[in-house]
Amino acid sequence: MKRMFSVWRKELRSLFNSPVAYGALLFFLIFTAVWFLWMDQFLAQKTASLRSYFALFPLAFIVLIPAVTMRSWADERKMGSQELLLTLPVKTGHLVLAKFLGAWTLVLTMILLTVPMTLMVTGLGQFEVGEIFGEYLGSILLSGAATALGIFLSSLSTNTISAFLLTLGSLLFLTLSVTLGAALNLPDPVNSVLNFISLDARYLNFQKGLLDTKDAFYYVWFAVLFLYVNTKVLILRKWR
């Protein structure tokens, strides 16, 4: 486990030594704040709710998580250091977990930095604390699932651009799948499948402050699935 956390710290240093990390942090904070306060005109609505603010998080994640995860394995593969990593006395699953934790820590930092904004706004009225807690919990779980997917897709890519585009396209589909199904007037069975796999559909309950264990379990299952598949891909590549 010490070796795994050493890789995690190395990953964190690599991320925070890159302008991508600071660009992603600034973009996330500025985009969500500006859209919520000015574009969405929160102050003019006179409604004590942050739903429209947290509704921006999945949309921002579509762009930001690919930017954070694209280098995870694609850069290692491009520079030839992936083979060196896989020969370290660390289990492949622990390497994958370390990569995931490094990227997820950065995303969680983005979410944490929105707390001052939330505290500032909640001072203007009577807000439901339980609803805000649910919104933050949903954001954390959603970001974990999306980060695990991004790490996996980076392991399939040969360069950072393809990793970014592949993750962006996948998250765009998984976030907007329900809207897409309704817009195309697809059959009910197809819509049911799209609703089941949608990351955004399960986020809606958290926005309302409803802590549904099914939704939480889906996010955890989703993340574990892609971390597991990522590990298997690397093991197969290791023995080629």
Q: Which residues contact 234 (CB under 8 A, 6 or more apart)?
A: 73, 86, 92, 95, 96, 155
94 — pLDDT class (breaks 50, 70, 90): confident
Read off the pTM.
0.90
What is the residue-averaged pLDDT of the chain?
85
| Euclidean distance between CA atoms 219 and 141, whole angstroms | 6
Q: Which two tokens stand for residue 212?
A: 């549904």
pLDDT value at position 141? Answer: 96
Q: Domain extents for the chain?
A: 2-238
Q: Nearest-CA neighbor of 30 among 105, 135, 117? A: 117
Q: Which residues contact 189 (CB under 8 A, 6 or more apart)?
A: none
Q: Lowest mean pLDDT: which of 11-20, 35-44, 131-140?
A: 35-44
Q: How does DSSP classify residue 83?
A: H
Which of 20-24, 176-180, 183-187, 213-217 ranks highest by mean pLDDT?
Answer: 213-217
Q: What is the pLDDT of residues 124-155, one digit of tens each?
A: 767 788 888 999 999 999 999 999 999 999 98
Q: Nearest-CA neighbor of 104 among 65, 54, 58, 63? A: 65
Q: What is the pLDDT of residues 44-77, one digit of tens each?
A: 566 667 888 898 999 999 999 999 999 887 777 7
CB 68 within 8 A of CB 106: yes
| Euclidean distance between CA atoms 180 and 46, whole angstroms | 31
The answer to whether residue 238 scores a pLDDT higher than 80 is no
CB 42 within 8 A of CB 130: no
Tell the burial category of 127 from Cβ atoms under 10 Å away from its Cβ (0-12, 13-18, 19+). Answer: middle
